[in-house]
């Protein structure tokens, strides 16, 4: 959802549903569909010219535009992926409330209203319900069944259709759905603000709007970033971005920074608690290299599983970046080669999913969890996720950069100076915007820095496959009152370069170590436990490889700088940022470790 490079790359092929379905066999109509509160939403409807049978409706609701506009201007291609070229559906695209040609006021991640008291209580569930109801009554030759899909922000609208869903909605596929923007999706990760993504995205997305319009201007169209690291470092404190560039013209940016804890604003926008009593079949989709909404894919699936004991809910996780499962070919990424076209594998599953539930055609026999294991390059099927077959293993940090993969004697501690004027880059490459390859990039550049600690195992004698979440349990101290902790899990290749290939990484803003709602300062120089849950993984460390863990306190400019003082960071000034000394303990009394789920 949240980066301009993704928008530019996928505008025609993912966000606007550009697959390889030729639209010449369709008649396009455009309608302003009324919602229960009187607001009308722009809706483009593509109806098969062949009227000899009745067709299901397949819909995407989007804040990114249903262009092209005009009934004589047809999308060249329709449907979620190329395999739909041989299928007939009534394809529907809708600009959501307050975006592009729809009326109304847009809300970021529209809060769900479970108990609606009147027609004025509207949310994305009610807007979807009203749209479906109108379509069934006004579009001829429909078979009474509706499917919904979407990637990223449209993935949120797919998830938001599930609570109190219209009975005609039979199949929903939220793909990389934005789900919880404070804990793990686009805005914040574990309380740390994702600076580069959000500044870039909101400049593209959030210009003020007085009335419906086909195209959005930028908030500030003069911004031109060639070297992101230098640009963001020079700009400095968060408060400077509005003062220098946005000038209060980005409403969402100001909302994000006005709510720097998991307060009522974010809690209202977390869709997970509302995913109860779900009736439609659901297929969650996500990517192991998704830099934006991997959390949303995994945790939307988890929420539906936990809150709906009897459900038809499945997940597929592949070796994809954000939305790459709809690419024509995804056999490689960065230095990875997957040995097959993994996007084609998914696209057949997606076609089968909708065909079965909306047409009763063919079959859909996917496992509860279909997962691609990187490293060994194999698809695996599980009856649940995380797999019940996985058992807990603990990797212990040790002295002399050691990492013990089995219980042993641990001693010592290590320290580094975290300097906000010289933060650790998220990637060893110059670019103007965030590059997704950081999710798998060689971390050798980081391990050479004095402000990054690394712990490395001996070469492993047998393959080790981990499948499920990773939890880092650290004992730390700092000379300041706040600090970020970034933990990376790395596969060290047995090549000449000893490439340190990133497998998973995550950040925790330290003041949220006990609660995202109630931050707490560190007591300077006091040893303090810090626990960080990283997103799930499915990866095989092959025989002869080594396993490495890195720890650092900046990840710039992916994550905003922490002043390393217990203050409200969005209002901090440049003078508030201080050097601190961070200590990581790994002795018998304070055994810092990384816990993983291992498949035998």
* Mean pLDDT calculated for residue range 584-593: 98
Cα–Cα distance list, 240 to 17, 233, 235, 245, 519 (Å): 37, 11, 7, 8, 24
Report the distance separating Cα 20 and Cα 579, nearest Å.
Answer: 54
Query: SS3 of 245, please?
Result: helix
Query: SS3 of 323, please?
Result: coil
**Residues whose CB falls within 8 Å of the CB of residue 515, separated by 6 or more in sequence, listed in order:** none
If one counts every other C-beta atom within 10 angstroms of the C-beta of residue 306, the result is 12
Report the distance separating Cα 68 and Cα 61, nearest Å.
Answer: 15
Cα–Cα distance list, 426 to 4, 102, 288, 581, 594 (Å): 18, 39, 18, 20, 21
- pLDDT at residue 20 is higher than 70: no
Q: Which pLDDT score, from 0 to 100, does residue 462 have?
A: 97
Q: Which pLDDT score, from 0 to 100, does residue 23 have?
A: 79
Query: SS3 of 68, please?
Result: coil
Domain residue extents for the chain: 4-179+271-323, 391-599
- pLDDT at residue 3 is higher than 50: no
Query: 501 - beta bridge partners?
Result: 442, 491
Banded model confidence at residue 17, pLDDT cuts 50, 70, 90? very low
- pLDDT at residue 437 is higher than 80: yes
Q: Which pLDDT score, from 0 to 100, does residue 15 have?
A: 38
Q: Which helix (H) or strand (E) holds 333?
A: strand 332-333
- pLDDT at residue 19 is higher than 50: no
81 in Cβ contact with 323 (< 8 Å): no
Joined tokens for residue 461: 């004698």
332-372: per-residue pLDDT in tens? 999 999 999 999 999 999 999 999 999 999 999 999 999 99
242-275: per-residue pLDDT in tens? 999 999 999 999 999 999 999 999 999 999 999 9
Phi/psi of residue 525, nearest 5 degrees: 70, 10
Instruction: Provide CATH code, domain 4-179+271-323.
Output: 3.40.50.1820
Joined tokens for residue 540: 């095989």
**Average model confidence (pLDDT) across the chain:** 95
Please indicate whether the domains covering 4-179+271-323 and 391-599 agree at the CATH topology level.
Answer: no
Give the residue among 492, 486, 482 at the shortest CA–CA distance from 556.
Answer: 486
Q: Which pLDDT score, from 0 to 100, does residue 600 have?
A: 86
Q: What's the pTM?
A: 0.95
77 in Cβ contact with 48 (< 8 Å): no
Banded model confidence at residue 85, pLDDT cuts 50, 70, 90? confident
Banded model confidence at residue 278, pLDDT cuts 50, 70, 90? very high
Banded model confidence at residue 77, pLDDT cuts 50, 70, 90? confident
452-491: per-residue pLDDT in tens? 999 999 999 999 999 999 999 999 999 999 999 999 999 9
- pLDDT at residue 4 is higher than 70: no
- CATH superfamily for 391-599 is Galactose-binding domain-like (2.60.120.260)
Query: SS3 of 177, please?
Result: coil
Banded model confidence at residue 563, pLDDT cuts 50, 70, 90? very high
What percentage of the chain carries pLDDT values higher than 70?
96
**Residues whose CB falls within 8 Å of the CB of residue 243, separated by 6 or more in sequence, listed in order:** none
Q: Which helix (H) or strand (E) holds 155?
A: helix 153-160
Give the residue among 239, 228, 241 at the shortest CA–CA distance from 196.
Answer: 228
**Residues whose CB falls within 8 Å of the CB of residue 211, separated by 6 or more in sequence, listed in order:** none
Name the one residue in this structure whose structure tokens are 């909404």.
Answer: 293
Give the residue among 526, 208, 551 at the shortest CA–CA distance from 395.
Answer: 551
* Mean pLDDT calculated for residue range 298-305: 98
- b/e code 131-152 from CB counts within 10 Å (16+ = b): bbebbbeebeebbebbbbbbbb
46 in Cβ contact with 74 (< 8 Å): yes
104-153: per-residue pLDDT in tens? 999 999 999 999 999 999 999 999 999 999 999 999 999 999 999 999 99
Q: Which pLDDT score, from 0 to 100, does residue 422 have?
A: 98
User: What is the greatest pairwise CA distance in the chain?
Assistant: 76
For 362, counting Cβ atoms within 10 Å of its Cβ (0-12 exposed, 13-18 middle, 19+ buried), the class is: exposed
- pLDDT at residue 8 is higher than 70: no
165-196: per-residue pLDDT in tens? 999 999 999 999 999 999 999 999 999 999 99
**Residues whose CB falls within 8 Å of the CB of residue 452, separated by 6 or more in sequence, listed in order:** 416, 424, 446, 550, 551, 552
Report the distance separating Cα 572 and Cα 60, nearest Å.
Answer: 41
Query: SS3 of 161, please?
Result: coil
């Amino acid at each position: 959802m949240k980066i301009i490079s993704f928008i530019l790359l996928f505008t025609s092929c993912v966000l606007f549903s550009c697959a390889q379905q030729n639209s010449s066999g369709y008649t396009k109509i455009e309608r302003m569909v009324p919602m229960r509160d009187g607001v009308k939403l722009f809706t483009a409807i593509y109806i098969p010219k062949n009227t000899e049978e009745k067709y299901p409706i397949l819909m995407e609701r989007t804040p990114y535009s249903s262009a092209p506009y005009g009934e004589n201007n047809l999308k060249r291609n329709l449907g979620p992926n190329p395999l739909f070229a041989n299928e007939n559906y009534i394809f529907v695209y809708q600009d959501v409330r307050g975006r592009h040609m729809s009326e109304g006021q847009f809300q970021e991640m529209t809060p769900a209203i479970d108990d609606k008291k009147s027609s004025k209580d509207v949310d994305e569930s009610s807007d979807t319900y009203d749209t479906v109801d109108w379509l069934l009554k006004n579009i001829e030759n429909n078979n009474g069944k509706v499917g919904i899909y979407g990637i990223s922000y449209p993935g949120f609208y797919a998830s938001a259709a599930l609570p109190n869903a219209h009975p005609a909605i039979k199949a929903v596929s939220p793909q990389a759905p934005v789900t919880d923007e404070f804990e793990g999706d686009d805005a914040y990760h574990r309380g740390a603000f994702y600076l580069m993504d959000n500044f870039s995205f909101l400049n593209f997305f959030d210009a003020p709007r007085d009335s419906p319009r086909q195209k959005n201007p930028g908030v500030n169209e003069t911004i031109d970033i060639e070297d992101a690291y230098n640009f963001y470092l020079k700009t400095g404190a968060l408060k400077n971005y509005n003062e220098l560039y946005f000038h209060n013209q980005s409403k969402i940016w100001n909302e994000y920074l006005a709510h720097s804890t998991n307060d009522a604003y974010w809690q209202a926008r977390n869709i997970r608690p509302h995913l109860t009593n779900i009736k439609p079949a659901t297929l969650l989709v996500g990517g192991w290299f998704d830099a934006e909404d991997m959390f949303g894919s995994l945790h939307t699936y988890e929420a539906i599983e936990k809150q709906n004991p009897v459900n038809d809910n499945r997940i597929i996780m592949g070796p994809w970046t954000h939305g790459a499962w709809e690419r024509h070919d995804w056999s490689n990424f960065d230095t990875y080669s997957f040995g097959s076209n993994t996007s084609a594998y998914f696209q057949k599953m997606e076609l089968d999913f909708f065909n079965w539930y909306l047409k009763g055609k063919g079959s859909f026999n996917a496992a509860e969890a279909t997962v691609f294991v990187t490293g060994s390059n194999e698809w695996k099927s599980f009856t649940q996720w995380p797999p019940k077959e996985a058992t807990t293993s603990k990797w212990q940090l040790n002295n002399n950069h050691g990492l013990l993969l089995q219980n042993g004697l641990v001693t010592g501690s290590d320290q580094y100076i975290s300097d906000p004027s010289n933060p650790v880059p998220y990637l060893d490459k110059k670019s103007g915007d965030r590059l997704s390859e950081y999710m798998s990039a060689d971390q050798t550049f980081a391990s050479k820095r004095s402000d990054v600690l690394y712990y490395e195992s001996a070469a492993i004698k047998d393959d080790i496959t981990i499948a499920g979440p990773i939890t880092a349990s650290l004992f730390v101290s700092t000379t300041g009152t706040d600090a970020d902790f970034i933990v990376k899990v790395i596969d060290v290749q047995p090549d000449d370069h000893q490439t340190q290939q990133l497998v998973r990484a995550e950040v925790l803003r330290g003041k949220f170590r006990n609660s995202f709602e109630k931050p707490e300062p560190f007591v300077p120089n006091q040893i303090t436990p810090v626990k960080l849950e990283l997103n799930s993984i499915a990866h095989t460390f092959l025989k002869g490889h080594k396993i490495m863990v890195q720890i650092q306190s900046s990840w710039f400019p992916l994550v905003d700088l922490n002043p390393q003082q217990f203050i409200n960071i969005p209002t901090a000034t440049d003078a508030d940022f201080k050097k601190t000394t961070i200590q990581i303990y790994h002795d018998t009394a304070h055994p810092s470790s990384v816990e993983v789920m291992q498949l035998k």
